[in-house]
Amino acid sequence: MSTEKTIRRITTKSLELMKKKGKKIAALTAYDFITARILDQAGIDFLLVGDSLANVFQGNETTLPVTMDEMIYHTKAVTKGVNRAMVVVDMPFMSYQLSVNEGFRNAGRIMKETSAGAVKIEGGKRVAETIKEITAAGIPVMAHVGLTPQSINQFGSYRERGKTEEEAKEIFEDAITVEKAGAFAVVLEKIPAKLANKITKALTIPTIGIGAGIYCDGQILVTADLLGLYVEFQPRFVRKYANLAHEIENSIQNYISDVKEKSFPSKAESY
């Protein structure tokens, strides 16, 4: 008889149940195997291979340059590190905007070539048809409304969305539409807490907030922000749980001086 404990994987159903039971969902981004493994072992509910890897990993100013091949490459590494968490993959800019068919084909490619559990698409009403087609093929879709970084050139800045009555109405309608189209969850990015509360109450699918206040069913952050690795970026909605940039720099300086002063390697560290 095996004594190994079976690990239950998180699925869209688990997230739906968590909302029903009033249990909060905790999510983070991951772009590589080691980080994914640590976050999974820590008990994270889902990992997003976010297109924010264009900023954090590749050093770009926006999320626009990251490609399908690059998203697939990173997702393959992430899924290898995960036993329990659900892995959601951002569909990159221009992988679904061209046509419903193109989005459908690319979502299928992500699911075929990685072991991810779902894809994420930015936009509300304008991507409703794409969400419908993809979910009809058995691929779970997480939607993303409010501040959608792939539209930065249209927005002109990363400021909070939904502050005016008109914008709030638009975002509310977007959220309702993506649920109707079949999305299993929706990310609400940088919108007023009051609006996020109204959306969370109106939807049966979980809302995952980032800069959207306390009422969402779950929260997501970019892991590098929470760990204090990305020091230039410190918006109000990020809580820093560590100062790793500082710790890494200190460790590296210690290593450099040990090498220079000939105290590393020691006899015990030699063969």
Catalytic amino acids? 189
Residue nearer to ligand KIV on the CB measure, 76 or 165: 76
Q: Please state, in angstroms and as integers, the Cα–Cα distance from residue 239 to each residue in 104, 230, 233, 235, following that order.
A: 36, 12, 12, 9
Verify binding: residue 90, ligand KIV, rule CB under 6 A: yes
Task: Name the residue type at position 23.
Answer: K
Q: Cα-flanking dihedrals φ and ψ of residue 89, to 5°?
A: -115, 130
Number of residues that bind ligand KIV (CB under 6 A): 10
Find the binding residues for ligand KIV in span 229-258 (CB under 6 A): none
E strand intervals along 95-152: 118-122, 141-146
> Residue 174, Cβ neighbours under 10 Å: how many?
25
Verify binding: residue 224, ligand KIV, rule CB under 6 A: no
Verify binding: residue 220, ligand KIV, rule CB under 6 A: yes
- Do the beta carbons of residue 161 and residue 147 sit within 8 Å? yes
Q: Taking the alpha carbons of 71, 63, 145, 194 in that order, is the dihedral positive or negative?
A: positive
Find the binding residues for ligand KIV in span 91-150 (CB under 6 A): none
Verify binding: residue 187, ligand KIV, rule CB under 6 A: yes
Verify binding: residue 160, ligand KIV, rule CB under 6 A: no
Verify binding: residue 216, ligand KIV, rule CB under 6 A: no
Find the binding residues for ligand KIV in span 48-67 (CB under 6 A): 48, 50-52
Chain residues in the site for ligand KIV (CB under 6 A): 29, 48, 50-52, 90, 187, 210, 220, 222
